[in-house]
Amino acid sequence: MNCIGGVCESLLIDMFDNACFTQQQVAILNQIDTDVACALQQLPRRYEHSVRVAKTAYKLAETYQVDTFQAVAAGLLHDIYKALPAEELLLRAEQHELPWKGSLTHAIPLLHGPLAALEMPSRYPELDAAIFKAIARHTIADTDMSELDMVLFCADALEPARQGDFIHELRTQVGISSLNKLFFDCFAVGISYVIQSRRYLYSDAISIYNHYVNQLQRLDS
């Protein structure tokens, strides 16, 4: 079994000024990278996606002055449970008594975020709780998204392999739109996709949508 990631190390060398991260932070990121490569060894494209999300999260964090270490850590880790079978996700959700509105069974594709956020803190006690909160919210969002939450959400939507006219348009808004507006636009595109593809829409999605519509309208006026 070969599950040594190694991408993170080159990612750090290629993209980042090493001075940005302490040696301890580099060591933590490399450990996370190896763990994610291991967890996703049956889904190599998902691992590659995770690395692209980490890189995109880094750029967004730099642009919007959010903690870059937390952004990269959240980006690498956000889909670590993506390879878990549906039955396992459901079982763990029940074991944790995961607070959830509506049917857990219908929401299986959304559970990997909140479950990883519940279980990862014991594996990485050195990481700040803000990172796990961002991971929990990358699938469902919320009405009180922090800047880190929004950076991860947008990075997941805008990483370079994501295609589509709306996504291309949103990439041009990075650094021009506020982070709130960029997040809201990514969220709205996500909801549109869910409806167009006739997938299950999490029941809180409409409340979150309306919350940010009202907030952004207030800011505009």
> What are the residues binding Fe ion (CB under 5 A)?
79, 156
Q: Which ranges in 138-200 belong to alpha helices (H)?
A: 147-158, 165-172, 179-196
Q: Quickly list DSSP for 53-107.
A: HHHHHHHHHHHTT--HHHHHHHHHHTTTTTTS-HHHHHHHHHHTT---SS-TTTT
Complex with Fe ion: residue 162 or 212, whichever CB lies closer: 162
CA distances from 18 to 14, 24, 94, 127 (A): 9, 12, 42, 19
* Minimum gap (Å) between residue 205 Cβ and Fe ion: 15
* Minimum gap (Å) between residue 99 Cβ and Fe ion: 19
Residue 163 has phi, psi (to 5 degrees) of -115, 165
Tell me the one-letter amino acid at 52. Answer: R
* Minimum gap (Å) between residue 78 Cβ and Fe ion: 6
Complex with Fe ion: residue 12 or 76, whichever CB lies closer: 76
* Minimum gap (Å) between residue 220 Cβ and Fe ion: 30
Complex with Fe ion: residue 156 or 185, whichever CB lies closer: 156
Complex with Fe ion: residue 26 or 154, whichever CB lies closer: 154
* Minimum gap (Å) between residue 23 Cβ and Fe ion: 28
Q: How far apart are CA 109 and CA 130, in angstroms?
A: 22
Q: How far apart are CA 102 and CA 17, in angstroms?
A: 45
Residue 111, both tokens: 């559970």
* Minimum gap (Å) between residue 121 Cβ and Fe ion: 18
* Longest Cα separation, the chain: 58
Contact 18, 26 (CB under 8 A): yes
Q: How far apart are CA 212 and CA 4, in angstroms?
A: 41
Complex with Fe ion: residue 22 or 190, whichever CB lies closer: 190
Complex with Fe ion: residue 20 or 110, whichever CB lies closer: 110
Tell me the one-letter amino acid at 70. Answer: Q
